Amino acid sequence: MKKIHIVGIIVIAVAIGVILTSLKNTSTYADFNEALANPDQEYHVVGKLNKNEPTVYDPKVNADEFTFTLVDNKGVEKRVVLHKSKPQDFERSEQIVVIGKMHGEEFHANDILMKCPSKYNDAKPQS
Amino acid sequence: MKEIEYIGEHLWLGKLGNFFLILSFVASLIALVGFYLSTKNKEYLKFARNAFYTHAFAVTGIIGTMFFMLVNHYYEYQYAWQHSNNEMPMRYILSCFWEGQEGSFLLWTFWNIVLGIILQRSLKNDWEAPVMAVFSLAQVFLASMILGIYIGDHKIGSSPFLLLREHPDYFNLPFVQGYISDPNYLAKITPRGLNPLLMNYWMTIHPPTLFLGFASTLPPFAFAMAGLWRRKHNEWQQIALPWTYFGILILGVGILMGGAWAYEALSFGGFWAWDPVENSSLVPWLVLVGAGHVMIVNKHKGGSLFTTHLLAIGSFLLVLYSTFLTRSGILGEASVHAFTDLGMQGQLVIYVLAFVLLCVALLIENSLLRVSYIMGSCLLMFFGMMYGYKTILFYTWVLSSIGLTAYSYNKYFPKEKDEEELYSREFWMFLGSFVLLLSALVITYFTSVPVLNKLFSIKKAPLKVEDYNLWAVPFAIVILILIAAAQFLKFKKNNAKEFYKKLAVSFIISIAFGITCSIPLYFQKNLSAASGIHKWEIISYSILFTVGIFAVLANADYWLRVLKGKISKSGASIAHIGFALIIIGALVSTSKKAILSKNTAAKQVESLGEGFSGQENIFLEQGDTLPMGPYLVTYEGKEVKGIDFYFKVNYFTKNPNGKPEFAFQLQPKIQDNPRMGRAADPDTKHFLNRDIYTHITAADMRTVIDSTNKNKYNTPENYIRHLGDTIFASNAIIVIDSIVSNLSQAEYEKNDSLLEVTAVLKVYNSNGEIFKARPRYIIKKNTVIPETDKIEALGLKFSFWRINPEEGSIEISMAEKVNNSKDFIVMKAVMFPYINVLWIGCITMAFGTFIAMIERVRKLKISKANHDS
């Protein structure tokens, strides 16, 4: 067996492993209805904050729970329970991605990503 | 329509800037043509050089003009308006310069010029023309990125000299529209200024280093391309070697600086988050390291020609690809700190594809085939633009490019005749470079999920940090074993027995050391159970730890025993020790990182599974003390300096008597920037063997407690209670301890004069201190006169105003002072053990690479001198 064959085998093994990893990563972008259909499945839901609904953060009771209402890109509204502290400048966010799954009528998120006009991004100013 | 004459604009600056922009683009184009022609006829060389220097002059001109604009606050220009303001200290002017896309492209262009001029001056031979032609081509593309002209509807580049009132993103906005008809609008606009997160010294040193690193992948690439072009696959490698090591050094330092910045000043809670932006600078570095190693193999033994070309070219192409990823907006939601889309996605794609096309075309030796490949590619692109089917056409192109590369490799590329020895340094170095390339490809594949989403119309979410870590561990294990062993082998043939004998010492010591350290680190029940990691993960971590130690010891051993501690030859050993220390430091500080601020209030939603038990933040009121890990932590209060809020968090340790003893104070910060919003800046206490990282996630941001309301009470609330019942206030618990009357029931009925009933309230504050309040219920001639009682220290007021004899209950109303809600913070504290090993490793690796680079330059000079004489 030539050494080039060993190299070839390693490449194939790694390739299979990589594909398996990316298949195992079942998390996809979705909307609330898809998440509702598969409550065991983790999803990334992209949406906007509904500013008319209250946001609840009472650190005295639990510093790692924050509740708000998100409207997904299809216009479906759900209460989101984030199991983290309230992010800085939450109200200023333009777009929110919550990562988690549906639990009853609530979406429970273990992580959140926000696009703010101010940070990292030089998007348009609000005035 | 009459044009409005705006007051105070400096339009000459934009004109001058645009002149330099166009000059820089045209001159680089002429330099490209000139150097191309000089590959055939040397007479053009002088002309081409002049064009390149003109280009360099023009770029300097652009930079100078931009600085003039920023320093003098010409806010009529969008770039100055967006990235600077008057309040900003002058020392951040550099940060403003490269905060935006245009400025950072310029920074890159600038470094390319510096390297290009040094390279051109050091090359007075046949390599100058082709190498500089490739350089000029890169400059043509970079210059076009900031050109900012329109051809039809297509925008080419984005200029830093656009007026705010003409900028496509802004001129429609109401505030700009409102001013636009006002000739004196300039006096009224407020500039946005620099992002507060970027106002620190890291922003001053990190981008120039990183971009110099990106620029330094260009010389090896240019040499490799020139090698293909001239069909001299061997000669360039020795000249390119010092450049490659320079690139490894600078890019490596740049990446690690980014990690240090993330750890020190940003709230990522770690130094590496596998963010696409981080990955896309790591990947070219890995490939460049591979290139450097194969080039050494080539120097000592010859051969490995295809691999050296592949890696040297690949590193630069991956820089381009990462530029595309981070600047085209394709990452979208996947990254928190990619640049914004400037509408240059198409241009960036073409930029990347053109270079790939050029590489493949140069590889093809048959000129007919080459021309048809180029023509075919152009046709495919034209078809894609005109008729769609872009994805299918793109695949066709990619597959045919790969096919042609394989064909040319087989047909034209010189190959080694005999198989490499298993016990030879070249085989192991080759294998190491190959593993580096493979790991780079894996990271690229994972990072490219958003691109794959677009190509295949799927909606996959980006990979998680755990998935990256899962892959990083086995790759690191293999690399570290190779690092440990390869140096003990000589080039060409070796005696296997002798090799194992030499390695044995460090191997045995590291196994012993690895086991003794791994057991307390990973196998002690109380520790490993808490962190919730799997058994096989623990095993792989201890293997990684052990091979890390092995790599450190073996390289130290090789340096001291074989090289006899000679500094000039120590580069490789020291750099390898540094790399191994980085991996050990990263492994231990990440896998053993401990959240000190455990939130016990967080409830676990069992059915949701792992990861939904946010227990990382703790609520602390001013004056409260809470245990956190080995510490007791109190929040002393905040100090406000302008827009910066410093929160004083005191850490106490328990001394042997169990009494708290002050240890240290941390002052994590939140900046409340009126224009940019809030930005948190953590504070870290550094110890020799661990770091305590403290970050404010939320806080009471009131600066003044309203003094007019100072003594006001909220509206009282009524509580119906029995003896022994409790009432909850926001800062205390109240127990109705006893009810005392001055008269007995009989006496009261007999003597209808005065009844006094006192409720004795025991009040416990959050520290467990006890206060007493005695509000009285007084009946005088059938009139009830309640007598209130206050506890000033707690801001509580009680009045006892009713007795319900039938139910045996009393009614007490309680009012709290308006300002009773105390100043508070929500904080997160994390302990990173042995993170200093990581930083020591960084410095060691940089130092070792530097020595290696100097040594390569010295050897090149010697061989040149020999050659000349």
- Convert the pLDDT of each residue in A24-69 to its tens digit: 766 788 889 888 888 888 888 888 888 888 888 888 778 888 899 9
Split at pLDDT 50, 70, 90, the class of B302 is confident
pLDDT more than 70, % of chain B: 89
Q: Is the pLDDT of residue B753 over 60?
A: yes
The answer for A 58-117 residues in CB contact with B (under 8 A) is 59-65, 82-86, 88-89, 92, 95, 97, 99-101, 103, 108, 110, 113, 115-116
- Spatial neighbors of B491 by CB under 8 A, at least 6 apart, are B297, B300, B301, B424, B425, B426
Is B173 within 8 Å of A108 when comparing Cβ atoms? no
What's the confidence (pLDDT) of residue B745?
Answer: 64
Is B461 within 8 Å of A127 when comparing Cβ atoms? no
**Tokens representing B479?**
């690399």
Is B459 within 8 Å of A29 when comparing Cβ atoms? yes
- B701-718 pLDDT, tens digit each: 776 655 455 567 777 888
Find out whether B312 and B223 touch, Cβ atoms under 8 Å.
yes
For residue B250, count CB atoms less than 10 angstroms from its CB and return exposed for 0-12, middle for 13-18, buried for 19 or more: buried
ipTM over 0.95: no
- Nearest Cα to Cα of residue B268 among B687, B839, B681, B686: B681
For B367, left (φ over 0), alpha (ψ -120 to 50), or beta? alpha
What's the confidence (pLDDT) of residue B1?
Answer: 43
- Nearest Cα to Cα of residue B223 among B233, B215, B214: B233
Phi, psi torsion values for B157, nearest 5 degrees: 75, 170
For residue A121, count CB atoms less than 10 angstroms from its CB and return exposed for 0-12, middle for 13-18, buried for 19 or more: middle
B674 vs A contacts (CB less than 8 Å): none
Q: What is the C-alpha separation between B198 and B838, in angstroms, rounded?
A: 24
- B136-178 pLDDT, tens digit each: 999 999 999 888 888 777 778 888 898 888 777 666 666 666 6
- B331-387 pLDDT, tens digit each: 766 555 555 555 677 788 888 889 999 999 988 888 888 899 999 998 888 888 777
Split at pLDDT 50, 70, 90, the class of B746 is low
**Tokens representing B187?**
């006096």
Q: What is the C-alpha separation between B108 and B358, in angstroms, rounded?
A: 21
- Nearest Cα to Cα of residue B385 among B358, B348, B346, B351: B346
Look at domain A27-115 and name its CATH class.
mainly beta
CB atoms within 10 A of CB B97: 24
Domain boundaries, chain A: 27-115
Is A85 within 8 Å of B670 when comparing Cβ atoms? no
Q: What is the C-alpha separation between B557 and B567, in angstroms, rounded?
A: 14
For all residues of chain B together, what is the average pLDDT? Answer: 84
Split at pLDDT 50, 70, 90, the class of B766 is low
Point out the least confidently predicted range of B309-318, B343-352, B466-475.
Answer: B343-352
- A72-121 pLDDT, tens digit each: 888 899 999 998 888 877 877 778 888 888 888 889 988 888 876 543 33
Q: What is the C-alpha separation between A18 and B152, in angstroms, rounded?
A: 44
Q: Is the pLDDT of residue B408 over 70?
A: yes
Print the SS3 string covering B791-829: ECCCCEEEEEEEEECCCCEEEEEEEEEHHHCCCEEEEEE
Q: How far apart are the first and last CA of chain B?
A: 76
Q: What is the C-alpha separation between B41 and B129, in angstroms, rounded?
A: 10
- DSSP class of residue B631 equals E
The answer for A 2-61 residues in CB contact with B (under 8 A) is 2-3, 7, 10-11, 14, 17-18, 21-22, 24-25, 27-30, 43-44, 46, 57, 59-61
A122 vs B contacts (CB less than 8 Å): 82, 99-100, 340
Q: Is the pLDDT of residue B674 over 80?
A: no
